[in-house]
Amino acid sequence: MYKNFTRIISISCNETLQPCITPFLRNSVLCTNKGRISSIGYVFRRTKKHDRNPSSLFVPVPVKPNPDDMNIGEEFTGRLKKQDLLKILNRFYQKPEVRVLASENGLDDTLLHQAFLSFRRHCLEHDLPPDLHITISDILQGAGNVNDLFPYFVRHARLAFPHLDCLDDLKKISDLRTPANWYPQARSMNRKIIFHAGPTNSGKTYHAMERFLSAKSGVYCGPLKLLAAEIYHKANKRGIPCDLVTGEERTHASQCNILTGTVDAPEEDPNTIVEAEPKESSHVACTVEMTSLNHNYDVAVIDEIQMIGDKGRGWAWTRAILGLQADEIHLCGEAGAINLIEEICNTTGEEMEVRTYKRLTELKVQDSALSSLDNVQPGDCIVCFNKNDIYSVSRAIEQRGHEVAVIYGSLPPGTKLAQANKFNDPENSCKVMVATDAIGLGINLSIRRIIFYSLVKPVVNEDGDKEKDVISISQALQIAGRAGRYGSAWETGFVTTFRPEDHGTLKTLLASTPDPVAQAGLHPTAEQMELYAYHLPHATLSSLMDIFVHLCTVDDSLYFMCNTEAFKFLAEMIQHVPLPLRARYVFCCAPINNKLPFVCATFLKMVRQYSRSEPLTRGWLCRAVDWPAPPPRTIMDLVHLEAVFDVLELYLWLSYRFPDMFPDVKLVREMEVELDAIIQQGIFQITRLLRNSEQLLKESGGAAEGAYPRAPRAPARPDDGKGKLSDMLVARGLITPQMLKKLQSELVADSKPDRGKKKLPTRHKRK
Ligand SMILES: Nc1ncnc2c1ncn2[C@@H]1O[C@H](COP(=O)(O)OP(=O)(O)OP(=O)(O)O)[C@@H](O)[C@H]1O
Ligand SMILES: [Mg+2]
């Protein structure tokens, strides 16, 4: 697909607004699963969308009649009967010559058919231009040939399909063959690239960090907030002021409590009327999507560089490696990425040094599976790939008298950190952890043994479809690599499965080498989308993205286009809300878990409010999320509070991009701290919440609303997603019928124009 267009045009692309984290991939590793063990056969696919004819992406624009065409032709040649007109037009469409001529003019069969329907409708419904009227009369009287209609038809087709006139321009805009040229400042430097390669727990990050800490200035870019927070704490503990930058905020070094490993809310000085922003520290730890390309650093560290091949997030690593302005760039990751990075360095003319490391402690695959949770021991971490397993496993382990720390992706950062600290603390009695692969990348925890509760994980494939598949070799190695971390209480790490039938597969996975990373991800920029919109003003942002992906030219020996499904999901959701294109683009990059209806519905409300130029105040937000939040009584309550936390995070993420419209950052941060504490309490009492949920279910004979998340453990079926979304959400237990009713009434109320509210002057061009 990418090789279709071969003209070489280099465009310089200012990329100030790169898209941000694809929501549901936020805390997960998603590598291509080429080395998958197919004998297991756990692959559940939904229908594929990719083999679509690109022409079907273009929707004809309604062609307006020319007001000057009023019956002039009729005065010359008399009135045309509709039946005669129809006959002539249909004859025209059936001519083989028309097909040939159309193809020469860029109209394939799909476009020709649509253009013809539009042309025929237009001729039958409106007065014809005089020249066309006369030509048709001539044909009717035998004085002309139906082929004579072609110029009129093409004139109409170009109005219906404006891309026909600007296809070359569109291809130029989406020529992505030389991404290295998008960063002229980085290209003007002679950067030193050092690749720290090796297995997990071999000291790659440690050595890169030593260099980072000894430099005058530095940036650490990692895949997870938790990992960036670990670096932030380590640096500040060593007395090197380091800020933490995630998608939502910048936490200054002075807010780091190095004793407790937590982040303090900034101290408020009642005598200060205007709060001075603390000066930025010379060192920064950030999530890779937030890497600033406008700063100059002595040293940059890009961790887990093999993620450059991630189908959803790979673009962020590509952007960092090509665009960072640093004298030294340290890459840490799997050796399988060395060749690709070397090739990329050839395009930038930079040399790369490879330093290889060996595992610092032994990692042993145990001879047998755990088989029963009775066999759980201190230092064990049971890794599950879905929340229901997390709940049931932690409950079962607590029933056996162990205290449990729980970590999964959707927990607030403070809660994750508190759970990690509790587990790591040698004085604490909590010595068992239940986690998802949110702990899988680079994190240092005091784990003796990793137990894979299952080896099957839902993933999003290259088409953006969800499927369940055996975890990749890379994922298995990464997760297993959390056991026996060097410097922890355990000198040897162990790994096994829960189920005996998975044991052989795990052994095979861990004995294999991950596939080399073949390509680095790319993603269109806001500027490119703007240029597309300029050429195709009638297209929706979602179809602009589709057209872009189909027309773009990528050097596929090095790069691939990341999947854009999350972006398009949001683009379609907010299409009907009037917004300027740039703002629309930013909203579509928001890191939202689109599986959470409450978050999606609140996001839509936020977009509407923004569109009406009404600032989103704390008061507005409190009404939207029903604040204050009561402590959770059941697991369903806890799930809801996590969604509320996501909404607060979303607010902060948007405030970073639209500070004028999301003004109450400080107050919302305070809400976050409060909610994080409430969720932390919930997690500390997770077993009690589970018991309450079960009790509620028992009392109501299984019909209790809001007791238990009923997400089925069965794999997604091919018909998943059909039918009404609301019915599906209720059926899956993601929302209760009461919540649905409330949501419906709120949406109805929200879509009515607000009366009596004072509006800010409208600043936005409507699209
Ligand atoms: N030379 C060293 N001296 C002291 N501690 C070390 C040394 N090398 C590594 N460590 C410690 O060992 C642990 C594992 O190291 P590190 O996190 O760098 O491994 P890694 O290779 O990056 O692993 P992963 O692939 O999982 O990210 C860390 O706690 C780190 O601080
Ligand atoms: Mg590491």
The C-alpha atoms of residue 488 and residue 593 are separated, in whole angstroms, by 34
Q: Give the model's pLDDT for residue 82.
A: 87
Contact 93, 121 (CB under 8 A): no
C-alpha 744 chain-centroid distance? 27
The residue assigned the tokens 């030193």 is: 192
> Which of the ligands is closest to the CA of residue 478?
1
Question: Rounded to 5, what percent of the chain is helix, strand, coil?
Answer: 45, 10, 40
Beta carbons within 8 Å of 315's beta carbon, 6+ residues apart: 18, 19, 521, 522, 523, 562
- Amino acid making up residue 639: V
**Can you give the residue ranges of every domain in the chain?**
67-160
Crossing angle between the packed helical segments 338-348 and 314-323, to the nearest 10 degrees: 40
The rounded mean pLDDT for the chain is 81
**Which of 290, 284, 240, 232 is CA-nearest to residue 653?**
290
Å from CA of 328 to ligand 1 middle: 20
Give the least confident one: 7-21, 166-180, 624-638. Answer: 7-21
Q: Which helix (H) or strand (E) holds 306?
A: none
Q: Report the 10 Å Cβ neighbour count for 300.
A: 28
412 CB within 6 A, ligand 1:
no
CB 487 near ligand 1, within 6 Å? yes
Pocket of ligand 1 contains residue 488 by CB under 6 Å: no
At residue 680, what is the residue type? Q
Report whether residue 203 contacts ligand 1, using a CB cutoff of 6 Å.
Answer: yes
| pTM beyond 0.80 | no
Number of DSSP helices (H) and strands (E) in the chain, helices first? 27, 20
Of 471, 495, 490, 493, nearest to 367 by C-alpha is 495
Ramachandran quadrant class, 412 (left: phi over 0; alpha: psi -120 to 50; beta: rest)? beta
Q: Which of 457, 389, 387 is nearest to 43 (CA)?
A: 457
Residue for token digits 């560290």? 301
The band of 35, judged by pLDDT with boundaries at 50, 70 and 90, is very low
H or E segment to which residue 326 belongs: strand 325-333
Does 462 score more than 90 pLDDT?
no
**pLDDT (0 to 100) of residue 63:** 83
Neighbours of ion ligand 2 (CB under 5 A): 205, 442
pLDDT at 711: 37
Confidence (pLDDT) at 51? 53
Look at ligand 1, atom 16, and give the residue with the nearest C-alpha. 203
Tell me how crowded residue 750 is: count the other CB atoms within 10 A of its CB. 14
**Hey, what are 409's tokens?**
């992706």
Are the beta carbons of 661 and 692 closer than 8 angstroms? Answer: no
3-state SS, residue 191: coil
**pLDDT category, 719, cuts 50, 70, 90?**
very low
DSSP letter, residue 57: G
Show the tokens assigned to 764.
């936005």
pLDDT higher than 80, residue 446: yes
Gyration radius of the chain's alpha carbons: 29
Cβ proximity of 160 and 61 under 8 Å: yes
Q: At what angle do helices 82-94 and 96-104 cross, to 10 degrees?
A: 70
> Cβ atoms within 10 A of the Cβ of 146, count?
20
- Give the three-state DSSP class for 407: strand
Instruction: Round to whole Å and give the CA distance between 554 and 412.
Output: 38
- Average pLDDT (390-417) is 90
pLDDT per residue over 236-275, tens digit each? Answer: 999 999 999 886 667 777 776 654 555 554 444 434 344 4
CB atoms within 10 A of CB 439: 29
Confirm if 679 and 641 have CB atoms less than 8 A apart.
Answer: yes
Give yes or no for residue 474 CB within 6 A of ligand 1: no
Neighbouring residues of 622: CB distance < 8 A, sequence distance ≥ 6: 628
DSSP code at position 311: T
- β-strand 262-263 against 256-257: which pairing, if any? antiparallel
Relative to the CA of 200, which ligand 1 atom is closest?
Answer: 25
Q: Is 733 left (phi over 0), alpha (psi -120 to 50) or beta?
A: left
As a CATH number, domain 67-160 is: 1.10.1740.140
The SS3 call for residue 497 is strand
CB within 8 Å of 425: residues ≥ 6 apart = none
**Would you say residue 748 has pLDDT above 90?**
no
Q: Please determine, for residue 73, whether its predicted confidence score (pLDDT) is greater than 90.
A: no
Is the per-residue pLDDT at 451 higher than 50? Answer: yes
Residue 25 corresponds to which amino acid?
A: L
Spatial distance between the Cα atoms of 112 and 118, rounded to a whole number of angstroms: 10
The ipTM is 0.99
CA of 491 relative to ligand 2 center, distance in Å: 18
Ligand 1 pocket check for 287: Cβ under 6 Å: no
Q: Decide whether any atom of ligand 1 lies within 6 Å of the 484 Cβ.
A: no
| φ and ψ at residue 663, rounded to 5 degrees | -80, -20
Mutate to test the pocket of ligand 1, among 195, 205, 495 (most ligand atoms within 8 A of CB): 205
For position 612, what pLDDT does the model report? 96
Q: What is the pLDDT of residue 626?
A: 92
Number of the ligand closest to the Cα of 486: 1
Measured CA to CA in angstroms, residue 683 lies from 154, 408, 415, 419, 566 at distances of: 65, 11, 8, 9, 29
Q: Is 205's C-beta closer than 6 angstroms to any atom of ligand 1?
A: yes
Ligand 1, pocket-test mutation among 450, 486, 492, 495, most atoms within 8 A of CB: 486
pLDDT tens-place string over residues 269-326: 434 344 456 678 999 999 999 898 999 999 999 999 999 999 999 999 999 999 999 9
Q: Residues 545, 529: contact at Cβ < 8 Å?
A: yes
Q: Are 242 and 283 in contact (CB under 8 A)?
A: yes
- Average pLDDT, integer, range 82-94: 91
Nearest residue to 127 (alpha-carbon basis) of 60, 82, 62: 82
CA-CA distance, 119 to 113, in Å (whole number)?
Answer: 10
Specify the residue with its C-alpha closest to ligand 1, atom 30: 206
pLDDT of residue 268: 41
Per-residue pLDDT for 331 more than 70? yes
Contact 651, 645 (CB under 8 A): no
